Amino acid sequence: DNTCVVEFQFMLPTSHPNRMSFASNLNHYGMTHVASVSDVLLDNAFTPPCQRMGGMVSFRTFEDFVRIFDEIMGCFCDSPPQSPTFPESGHTSLYDEDKVPRDEPIHILNVAIKTDGDIEDDRLAAMFREFTQQNKATLVEHGIRRLTFLVAQKDFRKQVNCEVDQRFHREFPKFFTFRARDKFEEDRIYRHLEPALAFQLELNRMRNFDLTAIPCANHKMHLYLGAA
State pLDDT tens for residues 199-227: 777 777 787 888 888 888 787 788 888 88
Burial (CB < 10 A; 0-12, 13-18, 19+), residue 116, is: exposed
State pLDDT tens for residues 121-133: 999 999 999 999 9
Q: What are phi and psi of 132, to 5 degrees?
A: -65, -35
Q: What is the pTM of this model?
A: 0.67
Domain ranges of the chain: 6-201
46 near 23, Cβ under 8 Å?
A: yes
The pLDDT score that the predictor gives to residue 137 is 95
Mean pLDDT of the residues in the chain: 73
Mean pLDDT of 25-50: 46
The pLDDT score that the predictor gives to residue 56 is 92
The pLDDT score that the predictor gives to residue 13 is 62
Phi-psi region at 107: left, alpha or beta (left = phi > 0; alpha = psi -120 to 50): beta
Q: How far apart are CA 116 and CA 154, in angstroms?
A: 5
The pLDDT score that the predictor gives to residue 15 is 58
Residue 101 has pLDDT above 80, yes or no: no
The better pLDDT of the pair 12, 164 is held by: 12
